[in-house]
Amino acid sequence: MSFESPTDGDRMPEKIEMPFTLAGKTALVTGAGRGIGRAIANKLATSGAAVMVNDLDDSALCETRCALRNAGYRVERLLGDLVEPSFPDQLVQATLSAFGSIDIIVNNAGYSWDNVIQKTSDEQFQAMLEIHLVVPFRVLRAASSYIRETAKKEIAAGKHVMRKVVNITSIAGTDGNAGQSGYSAGKAGVIGLTRTLAKEWGRYNVNVNAVGFGLIETRLVQPLTSGQSEIEMQGHKIQIGVQQSMLDSIRNRCPLGRLGTPEDAAGAVLFFCSPLSDYVTGEVLICGGGFHF
């Protein structure tokens, strides 16, 4: 795999060889209908992996699959709600049926449902734990039989094959953030899950890491306007967006002077999915431009 470096005056661009390829690998990416998830699926596919994408939004999921398929990449989709207890097993089995293997799992699906603690209901708090912590646990548990049995056979045959798990956390999980008791708790919990699985699955040649995002330019952090946006989750309409004054303050406090893009976010995830991270496990990489709450 190669790309052209930027030109310098009249100098001819050079071909720079990429240090890895994901050819022959299969990746499973949750929450891949739009935003960061779509950017992750794109990075993995363009790096050579076959990709199974999942989301709740059928039209967005179709857009992701169609765009990648039209570009010549191997992509399948499975629509469904990850918080349904049986669905993670279905998703893992669908990936194995479509591609015959699972080499990379990116637990990306999530959303925010914010309020100060005295206004946060049990249902609201539990919803944040379900999508950000329970769902990754169930997906990884569902994949565990395949991962363990396959690794045992490879090791017995003298093969050294690395697999990758990347869980998505947040600076709200590492630093805390006012108004996000549920979201922050779920994102902090996934760090504990990540470090535990790194210890359990190291013997199976699996790197288990997490990427913690700062503010990334997605619909969840769009500026609040008079025509405020909503998403519908579990029968609830949830307002999304951030006050413009807060966005401006974050940009001013961020050492890089801007919010991140989905492509920025996907680049950090790609590192943990690649052979470049073969001796890195149980770690949290913060992708936030240097900003902390």
Domains of the chain are 22-218+261-287 (3.40.50.720)
User: In whole angstroms, what is the distance from residue 77 CA to residue 205 CA?
Assistant: 27
Is residue 177 predicted with pLDDT exceeding 80?
yes
236 bridge partner residues: 233
- Least trusted range by pLDDT, from 5-14, 45-54, 89-98, 187-196: 5-14
Strand partners, 206: 163
Structure tokens at 111: 């959303």
Q: The dihedral of CA 184, 185, 188, 190: what is its sign?
A: negative
* Least confident stretch, 93-97, 113-117, 157-161, 232-236: 232-236
pLDDT of residue 228: 60
The 10s digit of each residue's pLDDT in 116-158 is: 999 999 999 999 999 999 999 999 999 999 999 999 999 999 9
CB distance 151 to 161 below 8 Å: yes
Q: Tell me if residue 279 is catalytic.
A: no
**CA distance linking residue 53 with residue 64, whole number of Å:** 8
pLDDT band at 227 (very low <50, low <70, confident <90, very high): low
Give the amino acid at 85: P
Determine whether 101 is exposed, middle or buried from the number of CB atoms within 10 Å of its CB (0-12, 13-18, 19+): middle
pTM of the model: 0.90
Do residues 47 and 41 touch, judged by C-beta distance below 8 A?
A: no
Q: What is the distance between the terminal CA atoms of the chain, rounded to a whole angstrom?
A: 38
Catalytic residue among 111, 183, 204, 279: 183
The pLDDT tens digits of the residues spanning 261-289 come to 999 999 999 999 999 999 999 999 999 99
Contact between 32 and 64 (Cβ < 8 Å)? yes
